[in-house]
């Protein structure tokens, strides 16, 4: 696997290191040793997929508060998406900054999302499927979210949003949420 750290410390784009021959190719998509060597958490508590019928669909921006915060390894297995992560670590110099990465089935590229990050994506093609390896169990009481269109985040989604859940549309703006976010995302050492 080929790891490239993003502008947000601890978040990595992971490309395949293909071993090709006349049959096609073979590539590792996950390795505990390689993750541990980069100080990434190699724990998988759950694996999930999301299927989206229409381009323009938006899912996010989701996170879980500590102690149930999650890592995610996200890969688009059919179609393509623009995946966006937001740093929610109050002690980080990139707090509330985001990175957008295009993931598609052809490249098989993945995005590693550290704990205390918000995550969401927009579908670029009809009939798109996304796969997640998640490092913590889903904990409804720890759920949180950011508004996808919050002007303070300044996320430039590539397409008009054609479909979004009522829950995702209703997340509060940062002006309402930031004090709680800072308090609940701060780790007590």
pLDDT tens figures, 145-177: 999 999 999 999 999 999 999 999 999 999 999
Active-site residue, selected from the candidate residues 19, 62, 98, 119: 62
Instruction: Tell me the average pLDDT across 126-135.
Output: 97
d(CA 18, CA 26): 6
Q: Vertex 23, ends 20 and 28: CA angle to 5°?
A: 45
Name the DSSP letter for residue 163: B
d(CA 7, CA 9): 6
d(CA 86, CA 98): 4
pLDDT tens figures, 42-81: 999 999 999 999 999 999 999 999 999 999 999 999 999 9
* Catalytic residue check, 62: yes
Active-site residue, selected from the candidate residues 65, 121, 132, 148: 132
**All domains in the chain, ordered by first residue:** 45-185 (2.60.120.10)
pLDDT tens figures, 78-117: 999 999 999 999 999 999 999 999 999 999 999 999 999 9
* pTM score: 0.94
């Amino acid at each position: 696997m080929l790891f490239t750290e993003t502008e947000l410390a601890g978040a990595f784009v992971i490309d395949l290191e293909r071993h090709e021959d006349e049959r096609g190719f073979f590539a590792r998509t996950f390795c505990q040793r390689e993750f541990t060597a980069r100080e990434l958490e190699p724990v998988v508590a759950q694996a999930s997929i999301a299927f989206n019928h229409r381009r323009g669909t938006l899912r996010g921006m989701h996170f879980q508060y500590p102690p149930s915060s999650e890592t995610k390894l996200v890969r688009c297995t059919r179609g393509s998406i623009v995946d966006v992560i937001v740093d929610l670590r109050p002690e980080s110099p990139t707090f509330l900054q985001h990175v957008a990465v295009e993931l598609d089935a052809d490249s098989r590229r993945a995005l590693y999302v550290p704990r205390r990050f918000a995550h969401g994506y927009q579908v670029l093609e009809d009939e798109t499927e996304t796969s997640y390896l998640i490092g913590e169990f889903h904990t409804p009481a720890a759920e949180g979210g950011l508004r996808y269109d919050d002007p303070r985040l300044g996320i430039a989604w590539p397409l008009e949003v054609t479909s979004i859940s009522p829950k995702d549309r209703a997340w509060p703006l940062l002006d309402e949420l930031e004090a709680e976010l800072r308090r609940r995302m701060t780790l007590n050492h």
